[in-house]
Amino acid sequence: VQVGEPNKTSLDFSRLVFLGKSDLAFHSQQPLISMKNYPFFFAALALCVIFACNSGSEEQNPNYDANLASMKAMFDGFQSKTINPDLFADDFIEVGTGFQEEDRTKDESMQQWKMMTALMDAELVNAVYLPGIDTLTMSLDGSVRYYGQWNMTMGDATQKLMAYGTMEFNDAGEIRNFAHYADWTATFGALLAENPDVAARIAQRAARSEQ
């Protein structure tokens, strides 16, 4: 910065070490912000304050921890083969996420899970749990989401299945609905292919039920 350049109103700090006393005296008399730029400066400052105030994380829904525990209890039931029906509301719905799959009621789901856990062992690994949001207000609503890998074992065969699930709750903290996204049909088919004796028993049972 040179004294002969009066239009420059800011200091070049990278060259400040080379300035003499006379140069510093000159620049100390020059305003860093001109009067005509004050409105723009304070507007920018106000925006920075607003964004800083809004950048904090939203407070967690007070029901989330209890709801998360319910989801984990359900998955523990899958793994121990003892699913607690009291976790679910009477009007519980398991959303059908497969091709042309119908939704299931509480009783239908309990029967389905009982059959599944009787035929194979399930182990959930690398699970990640996340709070869900209300899709209209975008606020944390206490619902729970999860990603994880299920190791499904039948006999000596094990298949790995990546899954994603969403769970919503009523005011009493009961599970109101559950949507599970994974290729369960393909996984079950792969396990049956490695366990032909189990596949034969299922086919015989299906034939008897049709008679």
pLDDT band at residue 25 using 50, 70 and 90 as cut-offs? very low
Tell me what pLDDT residue 208 has.
85
CA-based end-to-end distance of the chain = 98
**Edge-to-edge strand order for the sheet containing 140-154?**
104-105, 88-95, 175-181, 157-169, 140-154, 121-133
∠ CA 5-9-11 to the nearest 5 degrees? Answer: 90
pLDDT-based confidence at residue 20 (cuts at 50, 70, 90)? very low
| Model confidence pLDDT, tens digit, residues 35-51 | 555 555 555 555 554 44
In this predicted structure, the answer to whether residue 80 has a pLDDT above a threshold of 50 is: yes
Show the domains of the chain with their CATH numbers: 13-54 (no CATH), 64-210 (3.10.450.50)
Q: pTM score > 0.85 for this model?
A: no
Mean pLDDT of the chain, nearest integer? 82
